Structure 1
């Protein structure tokens, strides 16, 4: 049997590395185990063809907590964010287009092409979102309070734990109080659909469709569905891109962030092993005591922290008898509905858009390119997915990181990253293994309609269907958030009601991944919070 650790972390995704780092800096002996041969989970940079590197899954940065960046000294370990300006480009079928970004004057001019009223309203809309985000951020980054009067058999809390929960509840109440007159609309944003909110603010469909993509990314919901307002807010919470809601590229791809986290963790004393898949979490006497690798090796620890999804953690790695039946049943009810596909392409040329021609890097290439011209287009794409069909007109967010980062491809060549919405995990007819390539062709055609040179420029492609996202990254259901970001699966309800504080019913077992509060995105918050809770318990 190998040596004993204070903590063993299952999975070297960014949250696992953040958690390990904070534990080691507090003097704990930590081991991180990763089943793949590379750290980072879904935040990795990998070669898709000789000389071409893409951010395989996660591809932009904004939500990473500034405190984590500073406290873990990530810049010293090679982490660098490249800002994008403009940050958004929406080509339209009628030959017009909409550019947006951190430049207020650019936004005013561009939006005014469609609506003078919207151009005047947009700064107020941004200020409104900013006020809500700034008021709620401390609560969203905190360990969530348990606000429900749960019976003792669901969760028994000691005196100190009850006091800590009360303090967190008071902090949450103070955050809500700060909203003042914004509270009613903030509650609507947190619980309601995005479409009526956008309709209230704006009249231009081009602007509303551009903004609505933030409400649906990673979700199996249309913008008209309840809960998409929160996803909209979630995507404007971060400032790592240089300004609130402005997403940036990590130089060298998202894997450079994970590499910086690894270097920082190892400098703090963390041991990291790759190609070390965990097959089982062992429990004895009502406590997690060890992990057993697929090789048969057993590693004991005072605490086991899982960066895997709740489904993998509780339903695959643990024996059913180790958990209370009611808790295990609640885990089986977690919604992993998702409908996303990632397609990475190596290009010989930049897309030359009809509405804004140019064969060299221009403002239309730097930001996220939206192929979703209207709200109705997005709703139709969702309806196809609801029936179990790949969208006939897919919603696509395309980024060209080589427009600002020359480290990813040979000189003059480029990387395109397509994040495609409404590719349902389960198809009504067949599977993605059969239909994936045809759908990728459909996506390329959709872009080619706006940039006629696009198809001819594609040299290589990497297709990650929802099934492949699950296989490669252990993302249950292909869900990039480790579970849908719906109201009944947020805050103290994540992963299930009563267990929002990163602890689990099995003593010594904790969650630190996106399946815990505050959810998905490369924020590091679940990892940091899990470390704080564990340090209280150790």
Structure 2
């Protein structure tokens, strides 16, 4: 007998679970289908070496929206985290702290440049205004300003009215969208370490060096989280597990080890899914948390889609250029430039290694031509410093996000070059934390190709798609379909391919659920 639900969600990543949990709380019968043995997608905790566990992909809890935490009661369902209010940027003989406390950051900057310290409040004020605007836009359903039906015109008018007083903030945002990260920070700062400290944020998840136009936007978007920077207790898999438990408490079902082969469509309307096993499951709504390319190029027969829609989906850019490197070590990294008295912290469990703007930019140079960085920038974090459950007693986990690593290599492949990339990363780490490589017991490397193969992210892009002017807001993932809907009736999108994009924010899932419930009420 064919199973029937109100909605089937394809993919048990945190956005799919969030969407399902909201729909379940609204009284709908929900089935979440996940191909892996456990939920989470990019928000997972996995054992990568005997006794050593790490957040394989997403590693810092900072973007999870407070509204979602409160409404889904995630603390009640096991979410706990350890604040990490400081990021250490080392040099070979010193270092600087970026703190959640602006006064502390200003004090740190003053050690390197009095002028830069004086300018920091101006920089912070400008950036904060842009961040506040982006925080508001996060929860918006993107409008289509070119639709002429009365309902769409009304939505556009209401949107314009809500932001009628945001002229300065919008201009500041447009600067971020068009300027390079280097030019953006150089308006206020002259010291290279201070510049690099802020420019590093522009490298995370990006595909262009921080001297390239548009990279200032990456800098700003990485700082819009409202709960501060944190290590999640038990790793980032705890986020997905808490959302799962919240949904299950209201009747949501989750089925793992289940591969969805096709989305079933009849007369322009989605009505179910066909599993790899051959089983069909039917539902009134089908919601895909998978990447837009996988959803519409692999799971929906092209006969059900307009040709221009298919071409736009094919053109959605998903190049990934970051790698993850998980290390089991027998002692904490000891940074040569770290000093408790100078920095005012006990230990730098979260660091950014990229001491100058040129260092960051050079890391991208080889990748432009199909190779990888000889000196990669690194973001080492040591969650086991605050969470001893992740490693055996006396041992630690050091997880790196780094760059730059293209998806495809010119005249070689990652199976051959992976060990050399690891060696390059260890050489950089040894330069700033002498003896690190000797402390490594075991490691596991993930290149963009590995990430794609593991969690179905085309290109291995951590954002599900590049965050560029033509792939944000009402252009994300493609024009005309940025409102979580699709050309197929009753087929929706809720993953990070949609607005506002990647990071473990749960906002795409939250917004999609709101639109789905609105349609449900309209068609009731």
- TM-score for the superposition, normalised by structure 2: 0.95
Matched residue, 2:111: 113
Assess if the C-alpha contact under 8 Å between 1:371 and 1:397 holds in 2. Answer: yes
Q: 1:174 to 1:495 in 2, by over 3 A?
A: same
Aligned-partner Cα distance in 1 for 2:145–2:77: 40
Q: Does 2:172 match 1:185?
A: yes
Matched residue, 2:87: 88
SS at match of 1:476: coil
Aligned-partner Cα distance in 2 for 1:129–1:394: 27
Q: Does 2:216 match 1:218?
A: no
Worse overlay, 505-514 or 106-115: 106-115
SS at match of 1:449: helix
Q: Does 2:317 match 1:335?
A: yes
Aligned-partner Cα distance in 1 for 2:186–2:95: 20
Aligned-partner Cα distance in 2 for 1:391–1:21: 42
Aligned-partner Cα distance in 2 for 1:104–1:455: 34
Paired residue for 1:319, among 277, 301, 306?
301
Q: CA deviation at 1:171?
A: 4.8
C-alpha RMSD of matched pairs (Å): 1.8
Assess if the C-alpha contact under 8 Å between 1:366 and 1:403 holds in 2. Answer: no
Worse overlay, 511-520 or 420-429: 420-429
- TM-score for the superposition, normalised by structure 1: 0.93
Matched residue, 1:21: 21
How many residues in Structure 1 have an aligned counterpart in Structure 2?
Answer: 518
Q: 1:362 to 1:136 in 2, by over 3 A?
A: closer
Paired residue for 1:509, among 483, 486, 491?
491
Q: CA deviation at 1:436?
A: 1.3
Assess if the C-alpha contact under 8 Å between 1:366 and 1:401 holds in 2. Answer: no
Alignment of 1:345-360 (within 5 A): 345-356=327-338
Matched residue, 2:37: 37
Uncovered stretches (5+) of structure 2, i.e. residues with no partner: none
Aligned-partner Cα distance in 2 for 1:146–1:311: 21
Q: 1:400 to 1:363 in 2, by over 3 A?
A: farther
Q: Alpha-carbon deviations, 1:151-189, whole Å to 9, x = none?
A: xxxxxx8x6xx52x4454345434543334444333211
Paired residue for 1:128, among 126, 129, 148?
126
Q: CA deviation at 1:92?
A: 1.1
Worse overlay, 390-399 or 180-189: 180-189
Q: Alpha-carbon deviations, 1:268-306, whole Å to 9, x = none?
A: 110000000111111111111111111111101111100
Q: 1:265 to 1:182 in 2, by over 3 A?
A: closer
Aligned-partner Cα distance in 2 for 1:274–1:71: 25
SS at match of 2:145: coil
Assess if the C-alpha contact under 8 Å between 2:378 and 2:400 holds in 1. Answer: yes
Matched residue, 1:77: 77
Q: Alpha-carbon deviations, 1:363-410, whole Å to 9, x = none?
A: 374443111111111111111111111111101111111222222112
Assess if the C-alpha contact under 8 Å between 1:90 and 1:369 holds in 2. Answer: yes
Assess if the C-alpha contact under 8 Å between 2:364 and 2:404 holds in 1. Answer: yes
Paired residue for 2:387, among 400, 405, 412?
405
Aligned-partner Cα distance in 2 for 1:169–1:124: 33
Uncovered stretches (5+) of structure 1, i.e. residues with no partner: 150-156, 242-246
Aligned-partner Cα distance in 2 for 1:178–1:227: 25
Aligned-partner Cα distance in 2 for 1:367–1:350: 9
Q: Alpha-carbon deviations, 1:69-119, whole Å to 9, x = none?
A: 00000000110121113x2111113x1211221233432232112111111
Paired residue for 2:220, among 223, 233, 242?
233
Assess if the C-alpha contact under 8 Å between 1:135 and 1:176 holds in 2. Answer: no
Matched residue, 2:254: 272
Aligned-partner Cα distance in 1 for 2:455–2:294: 11
Q: 1:287 to 1:393 in 2, by over 3 A?
A: same
Q: 1:209 to 1:167 in 2, by over 3 A?
A: farther
Q: CA deviation at 1:422?
A: 1.2
Aligned-partner Cα distance in 2 for 1:322–1:30: 25
Assess if the C-alpha contact under 8 Å between 2:90 and 2:355 holds in 1. Answer: yes
Aligned-partner Cα distance in 1 for 2:249–2:506: 18
Assess if the C-alpha contact under 8 Å between 2:126 and 2:172 holds in 1. Answer: no
Aligned-partner Cα distance in 1 for 2:394–2:454: 30
Aligned-partner Cα distance in 2 for 1:148–1:227: 25
Q: 1:490 to 1:104 in 2, by over 3 A?
A: closer
Aligned-partner Cα distance in 1 for 2:157–2:400: 42
